[in-house]
A and B are shown apart, each in its own frame.
Chain A
Amino acid sequence: MSETHTLLSAALGKLHSGVLIIDRDRHISFINQWLLQALRDPALEYQERPLLDVLPEIADTRLYKCICQALDKGLPAVLSPSLNPSPLPLFNGRADDPERQPMIQSLQVIPLRQQGLNHCMIAVNDLSSTMRRENLLKVQAEKLSQQSLTDDLTSIANRRRLNLVLEEEVRRAGRTQKPLSVILVDIDHFKAYNDRFGHLAGDACLIRVAQSLQERVVRAGDLLARYGGEEFCVILPDTDSEAAHAVAEALRHKIAALNLPHPDSSCATNVSISLGVATGLAGVAETATGLLLKADNALYRAKQRGRNCSVSHVQITACGD
């Protein structure tokens, strides 16, 4: 028996995880070497001392309640690092390192009640590096999901994000019975601009236009997205046709004010845009695709009317042309 005892405590002493055994009176019956080294002061005497005398910080914690529950009721418990990062005052690294970091732990509180025993064992694992790895994974995953919704060139929302947001806004408009407007924006004669100045200048022009449009699309809930090559789309929740048309004109003036020379344009001397506005009216069932089609239709009319102008879908239907 005594040889087994020596053998077991030698084995527990070599473990790379912590073992702490508490008796019925909440005294420490055993603490292994690994756990001792991770405590703030490994030189203190822990064996046979009351748990709360040597680790007063754990009084009133979930861990202490779990220890009592294990001793009094025989119920085991787990303490996960996401819900309780550092239940025991344990640290990574050497005890004499003044910048020791708190250890992120996973704990199991296990009742030991066989053969007249009434103890509980706390098994401790160091999950600091696992936690770091998982946080890294989370950051990466967030970045990826962000990227998949952003346009690489202009850093505004991409078509995918536009579709997601528009679907949601159409549903919301249906629920709240409020008007919802979209504006399609097209840079006039962009192909000619690219042909004259080259693709790099073309890209730079797209970035300038996107930034400039974004400055005017700032209301919470509004969204500017890149719709296609030189096409952009603006979603304006809770905005009626008249207000949306005013936004469209403001956007047109903003781009004109950029004064980006465009000698091959037939409709202006500088880079200009054409816009098509469509509004889903309150109380009228509308789909995202239906709304975009109407805006596209209005944009087509704007181009027919000589570009560098904006047309609302309601104007088309009202004039009957």
Chain B
Amino acid sequence: MLEMTPLELDALGEIFNISVGRAAASLSELTHEVVSMSVPLVHILSPQKAVELLDPDNRLRITSVSQQFSGSFSGKALLMFPGSNSLEVVRLMLGAEMPLDQLTEMEQDAMSEIGNIILNTCFSTIADMLSESFDCELPCFQIASIEDLLDARNSQSKVLFVQIQLALEQRNLEGYVAFMLGDSSLLNLQHAINHFLDGTISP
């Protein structure tokens, strides 16, 4: 199994830190609400391990927005909110209380847009910092168990797992960004990070 060094993980942490900062700014601008995001925590896990961490009993329904991407590393990026967090995120951002315990069609569309904004800033920051480019597909909204979302039973890929905290109107809502990468893609990502680190350490 491929391991990342602490330095490489730090670099990834920095990339995602910049990403969530930009995403929070875009979301604030869009919703006219103060949106802030905490420094994200980055892990590299197997999908099985991610399931064990997030939902060992496999009972939770997770709201997700995902985008397929391809380039020198390819895979699927997901934004996930467990349980009712997605309801809160959307309703705080739309500033309207809907007395229903499920996302309506329009709210699902809004959720897709919020996910699209967050994932796009991640793609664009990775592209900028690592001088890579991607082709991305449109976002896809899905509610499913974490096991199904990460295809944990069949998948051989690794999950680059980023824990984010979204703060809205004094509420802290936890969500996750996950990048599912095959082995060769992960290796390419590692190369790109090292190239970037070489550039920053010895210019």
Contacts and interface: CB of A to CB of B under 8 A. Distances in A.
Mostly, the B contact residues are helix
A78 B67 CA distance: 12
Interface string B129-163: 00001111111000000000000000000000000
B109 A80 contact: yes
Contact of B110 (A69, A83, A111, A142): A83
A108 B113 contact: no
Interface of A: 62, 69, 73-84, 106, 108, 110-111, 113, 127, 130-131, 134, 137-138, 141-142, 144-145
Given A83-B93, A141-B99, A134 B136 contact: no
Nearest to A110: B138
A191 B12 CA distance: 76
Mostly, the A contact residues are mixed
Given A76-B67, A83-B30, 18 more contacts: A62-B30, A73-B133, A74-B135, A75-B124, A76-B116, A76-B136, A78-B112, A80-B112, A82-B110, A108-B138, A110-B138, A127-B106, A130-B105, A138-B96, A138-B98, A138-B104, A141-B99, A144-B99
A108 B29 CA distance: 20
Contacts of B58: none
Contact of A73 (B109, B112, B124): B124
Nearest to B133: A74
9 contacts: A74-B134, A74-B135, A75-B136, A77-B120, A82-B94, A108-B138, A138-B99, A138-B104, A141-B99
B88 interface: no
Contacts of B124: 69, 73, 75
A82 B107 contact: yes
Interface of B: 29-31, 67, 93-94, 96, 98-100, 104-107, 109-110, 112-114, 116-117, 120, 123-124, 127, 133-139
Contact of B104 (A76, A111, A134): A134
A62 to B, nearest CB: 6
B136 to A, nearest CB: 6
Nearest to B128: A73
Given A82-B94, A83-B93, A75 B120 contact: yes
A81 B30 contact: no
A228 B120 CA distance: 57
Contacts of A127: 106
Contacts of A137: 104
B129 to A, nearest CB: 13
Nearest to B67: A76
Given A74-B134, A108-B138, A141-B98, A79 B123 contact: no
Given A69-B120, A69-B124, A78 B139 contact: yes
B141 to A, nearest CB: 10
A83 B31 contact: yes
B93 to A, nearest CB: 7
Contact of B99 (A73, A79, A131, A145): A145
A20 to B, nearest CB: 16
A141 B100 contact: yes
Contacts of A142: 99
Given A73-B127, A75-B120, A141-B99, A82 B106 contact: yes
A225 to B, nearest CB: 20
Nearest to A72: B124
Contacts of B67: 76
Nearest to B134: A74
